[in-house]
Amino acid sequence: MGQVGRIPGGLVGMGGRIGKKASGGSGAPGATGAREASGAVPWADVLLSSVASVSWALVGMAGVAALGLHLLGADAAGALGPMTAAVVVLGAGGSVTPSGDVSAFGLTGAQARTAVEITPLGVSLAGAVLLAFFFLRSLRAAGAVLPGAELAARAGGVVVLFVAVAAGLAWAGHDLVTIDGSSLGLDPGGSPGAGKVSIPGLGDLGGLGDLGGLLPERLGKLADAKAQVGFTVNTADSLAGALFWVLGVLLIALLASRRSPLPRGWERVNRVVRPAASALVAVALVAVLAGLAAAAYAMVGDGHPGRIAGAALLGAPNGVWLALPLGLLVPWSGHATGALVKVLPDPLDKLLGFKEEQRVSLGRLAELDGRVWLLAVAGGVVMLYAGVLAAARTPVRGRSAGAFAGRCALSLAVATGLALPLLVWLTGVSADASLSVLGFDAFGAGVSLHGNAGVALVLGLGWGALAGGVGALLAYGLGAAGRRAFEPGPARSAGPSSEEVYGRSGPYAPSPVYRPSRETNPYLRDEGGPR
């Protein structure tokens, strides 16, 4: 009988041991503490999560780049595959150098010289969102507290794999694009002195037969010439750009994700940094969605809706994130010449349509079109929205309205002071192109537009402090302050407690045994009293 009385205890002990074994896997309650205590890194999980993150990011970037190029009709001039690889490299911070030559009637010495420095932020944003999503999801599966060694291993795996794939794209991103001279608008007719070159967007360049017989009377037959313009990805610059791009994406993702685990000692990041950073990231994404909606509206009734869609896929973030600093009074400077003037929106094309450098400000643009002042209104509304959102995500912890507003103003000021110069740098544009025939420029085009990063830093601090303070007071007065704040709970111990084991029913984790306070079964009683 005594043995019968000990059977439940033995079963309980067995159930406890089995329950601990079942709960010891990755993501289980005690897994984080066990890994943190042992310092072991789950390398298999790290490898799989890195492959998934990089693969999905590159699939998204290649899809957006290929679809955008196809809608723009770029695949009619060359192979879509190499062009897609080159655009993906550009989107990841790489560099592409076009070059080529033109040959007509056996003459040599004609060269096409082009330099392009522009990032298709639509491709960059697609890759960044997918990379951040899958990377952060792998962190959340690791537990409530992430060991520092595991965080470094996961981030390092993503960085190494992404740079390796970028090297492969740099090898594949080169091709030749053939341009038919007749498509340039060359007038084939002509006797000596009558041959004229008319290029769309540049007008009539006049009679070239008057150049002292440099080109004979068959100059008009240049329409039969073929131009082959090639492009090659700069491997070294592209690998460096890919390295900084992926590091920047991972850093912003960690700072903006409020629910992702962090190593011990990083608790202040959750309370101070993440509310403001997540608010700014949300505002930037909402602004891009608004730009895409505007592009969709412009497509209605347009004769070439595909071109608008392709341009929006590749460059909607470029235009939106250029307008935001401009609306927040950040000064710009630039110039535009040739056919590239047409790619600028109105009234920016009227202001920059000169070879000399021009200062671009909200006031000067408003002189050409008064509706430009709406950018200032939009910038103020966007910053106020960021302030209210950051206040809703910041813990109050019994602070007064003034103290809470001061804390929100400081955190949003620092975040905006760093984010605004970053947007200015990302949206900078520099593109120059020229096609020369025996030293004579047949056409030339260029555009350059750059913002003042130093002034953007100062204005970002001011706008962030103002929006953070006012937004916090509004949220405090409406009762929304701290309502969406997230504070992770304390880390759990290395092993599950008996409550955790018996709280779940199943074949290997039995449910609790319910008995009265005083045992009524005579076989389970001890002589000294009830068990």
DSSP-assigned states of every residue in 15-37:
HHHHHHHHT-STTSTTHHHHHHH
Boundaries of domain holding 351 = 275-486
Q: Minimum mean pLDDT among 181-185, 259-263, 331-335, 463-467: which range?
A: 181-185
Q: What is the mean pLDDT of the segment spanning 85-110?
A: 63
Q: Which residue has the higher pLDDT, 167 or 176?
A: 167
| pTM over the 0.75 mark | no
| Phi, psi for 8 (deg, rounded to 5) | -60, -35
**Residue 385 domain-assigned?**
yes
* 111/436 Cα distance (integer angstroms): 6
**Residue 475 domain-assigned?**
yes
| Phi, psi for 509 (deg, rounded to 5) | -140, 85
DSSP 189-257: --STTT-EEEETTTEEEEEGGGTTTSS-GGGGGGGG-EEEEEEEE-HHHHHHHHHHHHHHHHHHHHHH-
Sequence-distant contacts of 48-52: CB under 8 A, at least 24 apart: 49/134, 49/135, 49/138, 49/154, 49/157, 49/158, 50/154, 50/157, 50/158, 50/160, 50/161, 51/161, 52/134, 52/138
How do residues 504-524 score in pLDDT, each as one tens digit?
Answer: 444 555 555 555 556 566 666
**Residue 317 domain-assigned?**
yes
> Which structure tokens are listed for 34?
């066990």
**Residue 146 domain-assigned?**
no
**Residue 343 domain-assigned?**
yes
* 337/17 Cα distance (integer angstroms): 77
How do residues 368-377 score in pLDDT, each as one tens digit?
Answer: 888 889 999 9
**Residue 232 domain-assigned?**
no
**Residue 482 domain-assigned?**
yes
**Residue 412 domain-assigned?**
yes
Q: What is the mean pLDDT of the chain?
A: 74
Domain count, the chain: 1
